Amino acid sequence: MGLGYIGLPTAAMLAARGHAVLGCDTDPRVVKAVASGQAHFREPDLDSLLAAALATGRLVAQGAPRPAEVFLIAVPTPLGPGNRADLSAVWAATDAIAPLLKPGDLVILESTCPVGTTEALAARIAAARPDLALPMRGVPAPPGCVHLAHCPERVLPGAMLRELVANDRIIGGLTPGCAESARALYAGFVTGQCHVTDSRTAELAKLAENAFRDVNIAFANELADIAIGVQVDPWAAIALANRHPRVAILAPGPGVGGHCIAVDPWFLAESAPEGAPLIRAARAVNDARPGHVAAAIRALARPGAAVACLGLTYKPDVGDLRASPALAVAEELSRDGTLRLICCDPLLAALPPPLAGRPGVVLAGLESALAQADVVAILVAHRAFRALGAPALQGRTVLDAVGMLVAAV
């Protein structure tokens, strides 16, 4: 259920391992693209895996589910009003499969969610299907029950297929029997360890992974501001601090993006409204970061200057714009029209919203962008940019927001 960044690779992988897989998505364009063998996002080797799965007939894409033995929900869980989880897609998927369920079926929730969501999913199914036996947390499973588990995704865009197989997985069941049913499925393609636990622990562990990185990135960003204020190179200072055997400070940058790190910490805060001051503070630091970087660029550029923004995606060598801090920096610089903005990103074929059509903003190749620029802002350390030598930047003011040009200490 859901053929996005997680659902589609998982569907193709399961089909490659011999399962008959029905991939469902509510977007007809996604269904059409998948049925034709084209992934609707960039991911190395996914098109070839998808083509092989379709060729065998083991993968079919359509808009609605049909009866099966396993139902895997991998739909988006974005932030809604008040920085609370929007679970509407999870509930829509649950409502779609509820009429199809039969005793012994397995329902797996892979979508990242607040603690307790798997139990709420079971309650929703029980309300729709009072004829079915549903498990409850901490209670022995009734005979012939539908099994429910939370198995959060843990993959990195750009390396999804490798990590889908190699990474350890957390298998959290409403009961031990539910967890074992889910573990048996994942063990068929995961070479990493499958760690069995309860659903709440699995939900919390996934959120903790991303909140850990968010808090530590916030510390790195705050430390960078302090270092610059006292005229110290932050990357040099961090590299030296990391020579300590028990210190591993992360890299500062223009902010935090992607589908996880900028979102999931709020799900923890939602679970403990009065008990997450550190998580909320880290979110505030990282959310403010693109504005700080844009202000620093403005301070270097006279009115009417040409600013080359190198990189718009949220991370190096990945064409994903979700919550991209680099895109937020470019958007902020383009707001008042006082600067000419030359955007360069080798992974994009066109300017994305909201930059598309904005006066004074163009997309250009690297050579052209550098030739026109008065100020060069390095916002994403794409491979094509890492190959730049000092002569290519000579005579230009450079703001390196990601430490790409800093030599290792």
Q: What is the pLDDT of residue 407?
A: 61
DSSP 98: G
Model confidence at 157, pLDDT cuts 50, 70, 90, reads confident
pLDDT tens digit sequence for 11-50: 999 999 999 999 999 999 999 999 999 999 989 999 999 9
**Residue 369 pLDDT exceeds 60:** yes
Is pLDDT at 169 greater than 50 in this prediction? yes
- Residue 213: inside a domain, yes or no? no
Residue 202 lies in a domain: yes
pTM for the model stands at 0.92
pLDDT > 90? residue 271? no
Residue 197 and residue 277 in one domain: no
Tokens at 197, concatenated: 């636990």
156 and 265 part of one domain? no
User: In this structure, is residue 195 part of a structural domain?
Assistant: yes
Distance (Å, rounded) from C-alpha 366 to C-alpha 346? 8
Q: Residues 12, 82: one domain?
A: yes
Tell me, yes or no, whether 112 lies in a domain: yes
Does the structure show a pLDDT above 70 at 408?
A: no
Q: What is the mean pLDDT of the chain?
A: 95
How many degrees, rounded to 5, is the angle at CA 64 between CA 106 and CA 170?
Answer: 35
Determine the pLDDT at residue 391: 79
Most confident of 135-149, 210-224, 392-406: 210-224
* Full residue range of the structural domain in which residue 244 is found: 232-400
For residue 2, is it within any domain?
A: no
Domain boundary among 206, 221, 256: 206
Task: State percent of the chain over pLDDT 70.
Answer: 99
Torsion sign across C-alpha atoms 338, 342, 345, 351: positive
User: Which positions ≥6 away from 378 have C-beta within 8 Å?
Assistant: 310, 311, 385, 398, 399, 400, 401, 402, 404, 405
Q: Which of 62-66, 141-145, 195-199 has the lowest mean pLDDT?
A: 141-145
For residue 245, the domain's CATH number is: 3.40.50.720
Count of domains in the chain?
A: 2
- Identify whether residues 197 and 248 lie together within a single domain: no
Active site residues: 206, 260
Bridge partners, 79 (sequence order) = 85
**Are 134 and 255 members of one domain?**
no
182 shares a domain with 244: no
Helices (H), 189-274: 199-229, 234-241, 264-271
Section 187-204 average pLDDT? 97
What's the CA gap between 145 and 129, in Å, rounded? Answer: 12
Statement: residue 191 has pLDDT above 70: yes
Q: Are 33 and 161 in a shared domain?
A: yes
> At 285, which amino acid appears?
V
Prior bond of 354 cis (ω within 30°): yes
Integer Cα distance of 130 and 125 in angstroms: 8
Among 152, 78, 148, residue whose Cα is nearest residue 112: 152
Q: What is the distance between the alpha carbons of residues 404 and 294, in angstroms, rounded to a whole number?
A: 18
Please name which of 111, 116, 114 lies closest in space to residue 93, comparing C-alpha atoms.
111
pLDDT tens, 69-120?
A: 999 999 999 999 999 999 999 999 999 999 999 999 999 999 999 999 999 9
Whether residues 279 and 181 fall in one domain: no
388 in any annotated domain: yes
Q: Is 401 left (phi over 0), alpha (psi -120 to 50) or beta?
A: alpha
Among candidate residues 220, 217, 223, 224, the one with its CA nearest the CA of residue 399:
224
Q: What mean pLDDT do residues 58-62 have?
A: 97
pLDDT in tens, 289-330: 999 999 999 999 999 999 999 999 999 999 999 999 999 999
**C-alpha–C-alpha distance, residues 395 and 47, integer Å:** 43
What confidence score (pLDDT) does residue 63 get?
Answer: 96
Tell me: do 199 and 305 sit in the same domain. Answer: no
Pick the closest to residue 242 from 251, 232, 233 (CA basis).
251
Q: Is residue 218 part of a domain?
A: no
| Distant-in-sequence, close-in-space partners of 357: CB < 8 Å, separation ≥ 6 | 351
Looking up tokens 């163009």 gives: 362
Give the residue from 206, 224, 242 where a domain finishes. 206
Cβ contact 74:2 at 8 Å:
yes
How much is the pLDDT for 178? 96
In a domain, 375, yes or no: yes
- Asked whether the predicted pLDDT for residue 409 surpasses 70, the reply is no
70 lies in the same domain as 199: yes
User: Does residue 58 sit in the same domain as residue 188?
Assistant: yes
Distance CA 136, CA 110 (A): 19
Based on the domain organization, do 162 and 245 belong to the same domain?
Answer: no
